[in-house]
Amino acid sequence: MWPYPKIVAHRGGGTLAPENTVAGLRAGLAYGFHAVEFDVMLSRDGIGMVMHDADFGRTVAGRGSVPETDAVDLAAMDAGAWFGQQFNDEPVPYYTQFIDYCKAQRIWMNVEIKPADGFEAETGRWVARVTRDSYAAEIAAGDPAAMPLLSSFSFDALAAARDVAPDLPRGYLLDRVPGDWQAQARELGAVAIHTNHQHLTLELTRAIKAAGYGLFCYTVNEPERGREILSWGVDGFCTDRIDLIGPGFA
Ligand code: G3P
Ligand code: MG
pLDDT at position 86 is 97
Question: Is position 228 within any domain?
Answer: yes
Question: Is position 86 within any domain?
Answer: yes
**Span between the terminal Cα atoms of the chain, in Å:** 17
pLDDT tens column, 186-230: 999 999 999 999 999 999 999 999 999 999 999 999 999 999 999
d(CA 163, CA 55): 29
pLDDT tens column, 130-161: 999 999 999 999 999 999 999 999 999 999 99
pLDDT tens column, 4-17: 999 999 999 999 99
Asked if residue 102 lies in contact with residue 36, where contact means CB atoms within 8 angstroms, the answer is yes
10 counts as catalytic: yes
* Bridge partners, 55 (sequence order): 65
Could you identify the atom of ligand 1 that is nearest to the CA of residue 153?
5
pLDDT tens column, 18-62: 999 999 999 999 999 999 999 999 999 999 999 999 999 999 999
pLDDT at position 217 is 99
Q: Which is catalytic among the residues 34, 52, 194, 199?
A: 52
Mean pLDDT of 70-83: 98
Q: How many CA atoms lie within 13 A of 183 on its CB side?
A: 3
**Which residue has its alpha carbon closest to ligand 1 atom 2?**
218
Task: Tell me the residue type at 37.
Answer: E
Q: What percent of the chain has pLDDT over 90?
A: 99
Question: Is residue 52 classed exposed, middle or buried when 0-12, 13-18 and 19+ CB atoms within 10 A define those classes?
Answer: middle
Distance 239 CA to ligand 1 centre (A): 10
Question: Is position 76 within any domain?
Answer: yes
Question: Is position 89 within any domain?
Answer: yes
Cα 117 from chain centre: 18
Cα 139 from chain centre: 19
* Bridge partners, 7 (sequence order): 237
CATH number, residue 57: 3.20.20.190
pLDDT at position 222 is 98
d(CA 178, CA 55): 28
Output the CA torsion 66→159→196→223 (10° steps): -90
Question: Is position 247 within any domain?
Answer: no
Question: Is position 84 within any domain?
Answer: yes
Asked if residue 151 lies in contact with residue 173, where contact means CB atoms within 8 angstroms, the answer is yes
Question: Is position 250 within any domain?
Answer: no
Question: Is position 71 within any domain?
Answer: yes
Residues with CB under 6 A from ligand 1: 10, 37, 39, 52, 112, 151, 173, 194, 218, 238
- For every residue of the chain, DSSP letters joined together read ---S-SEEETTTTGGGS-TTSHHHHHHHHHTT--EEEEEEEE-TTS-EEE-S-SBSSSSS-SS-BGGGS-HHHHHTSBSSTTT-GGGTTPBPPBHHHHHHHHHHHT-EEEEEE-PPTT-HHHHHHHHHHHHHHHTHHHHHHT-GGGS-EEEES-HHHHHHHHHH-TTS-EEEEESS--TTHHHHHHHHT-SEEEEEGGG--HHHHHHHHHTT-EEEEE----HHHHHHHHHHT--EEEES-TTTS-TT--
The tally of domains found in the chain comes to: 1
**Which residue has its alpha carbon closest to ligand 1 atom 5?**
218
Cα angle, residue 42 at apex, residues 37 and 43 outer, rounded to 5°: 130
User: Is the pLDDT reported for residue 1 higher than 90?
Assistant: no
197 counts as catalytic: no
pTM of the model: 0.98
In terms of residue numbers, what domain contains 232? 7-239
